[in-house]
Amino acid sequence: MALVTPDTGAPRIFASPLARRLAKEGGLDLSALQGSGPHGRIIERDVQTALARGETTKAAPLAAAPSADVTRKFFEAGSYEEIPHDNVRKAIARRLTEAIQTIPLFYLNVDCEIDALLRLREDFNAAAPLASDGKPTWKTSVNDYVVKALAIALQRKPEANVTYTPDALLRHKSSDIGVAVSIPGGLVTPIIRNAQAKSVREISEEIKELAGRARARKLKPHEYEGGVSAVSNLGMYGVQSFTAVINPPQSTILAVGQGEQRMIVKNGAPVVATMMSVTLSCDHRAVDGALGAELLAEFKHVIEHPAMMFA
């Protein structure tokens, strides 16, 4: 059943979620089907009947983005500077467009109290012996603990430590976590392999080393390809919360905001606590809503009880 949407003039098709999925997988254009459900709604039986009859008609391709010439017409000549895309920017645009178009995303968010984490981090960094140059031999960041906590959470909830393929879910033994790193002209996500088995200090040193080579554009493909999840942290820019786009073939990504003091209620009384908002983006093909919520709950538990990371 198709009606016209008043604001756009485009046909509005009434179909069940299952019918839409089957039609997409079978290459059917739903607008060409007659629904047999209530009020003419297209249901599973209609799609299966059409497929059985061989009435496959590939759906119309997604509309292409406006060409460069069309876009330039909106702006006065000489009022802008053109910066050609390098290969990194082209790859980012291609992969993230693919992700938005092909991955059924949903988002979950939670606030974490991180005062215990900040105290532990301060004590751990203060314990670092001085090197010959007088500088501490290590200095961990909050992000290092976030990566470790996510790796542990994935181990505690192995059903979410997966990758979707059309044939099967790949359940991984290790927690390979990508870490978003800003580089000139774009973004790259080097992978911390087997993060659950590494200490926070080891994760910290590896992130620094990979980020340095990423900015120098010296990463090898195996160092930034793959992974099951990722962390994107914009807290250092004062961002309170945001949502991040999954980088295929990963199934989740955790967007981390800044830690800030807020008034919360504890035991019925108002208190000040340092809170950090995080948002988990999930690929619904691999991680359902309840599973995503359980994974996020595990992360929250670990980050709020940071001694677990040293067990």
Catalytic site residues?
284
The span from the CA of 257 to the CA of 292, in Å, is 19
Tokens of 152: 């542990």
- The HSE-up count of residue 219 (CA atoms within 13 Å, CB side) is 25
The span from the CA of 91 to the CA of 45, in Å, is 40
Number of H helices, E strands in the chain: 8, 12
With beta carbons less than 8 A apart as the criterion, state whether 149 and 209 touch.
Answer: no
- Phi and psi, residue 201, nearest 5°: -65, -45
Tokens of 108: 């979950």
8-state DSSP, 75: S
Cβ count near 19 (within 10 Å): 24
8-state DSSP, 290: H
Cβ count near 17 (within 10 Å): 8
